[in-house]
């Protein structure tokens, strides 16, 4: 009987230790999760700011009449001239999607 009592106590100790280890692991995972949530929130905020800033620096021209036999250089020239008119320094590399 004494042997079974000792065996039962040792099983209880092992289960208690296992429970404590599980609690420690759960706490560790929860802390990592909280840290990840903070990083995700920061990244979402940065993405939103980048989108906002991209819209600020975005200019779209529509309904500009096309000339016959127009090359890609012609619209670039028109846009750079427009930039000079409004005191905005533009280069050909700034102009996209012609």
Q: How many domains does the chain have?
A: 2
Q: How far is CA 43 from CA 40, 48, 52, in A?
A: 5, 9, 14
What is the rounded distance in angstroms from the CA atom of residue 75 to the CA atom of residue 73?
6
Question: Do residue 80 and residue 46 come from a single domain?
Answer: no
Helices (H) and strands (E) in the chain, counts: 2, 0
94: domain range?
60-98
Question: Do residue 21 and residue 41 come from a single domain?
Answer: yes
27-52 mean pLDDT: 94
Summarised one tens digit per residue, pLDDT across range 2-26 is 555 555 566 666 676 777 888 888 9
78, pLDDT greater than 90: no
Question: Do residue 71 and residue 94 come from a single domain?
Answer: yes
Q: What mean pLDDT is reported for the chain? A: 81
Question: Do residue 31 and residue 66 come from a single domain?
Answer: no
Say if pTM beats, i.e. exceeds, 0.85. Answer: no
Which one-letter DSSP state was computed for residue 54?
Answer: H
């Amino acid at each position: 009987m004494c042997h079974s009592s000792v065996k039962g106590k040792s099983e209880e100790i092992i289960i208690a230790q296992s429970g404590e280890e599980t609690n420690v692991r759960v706490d560790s995972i929860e802390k990592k999760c909280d840290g990840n949530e903070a990083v995700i929130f920061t990244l979402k905020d940065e993405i939103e700011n980048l989108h906002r800033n991209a819209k600020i620096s975005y200019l779209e021209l529509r309904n500009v009449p096309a000339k016959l036999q127009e090359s890609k250089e012609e619209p670039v020239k028109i846009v750079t001239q427009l930039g000079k008119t409004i005191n905005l320094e533009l280069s050909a590399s700034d102009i996209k999607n012609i």
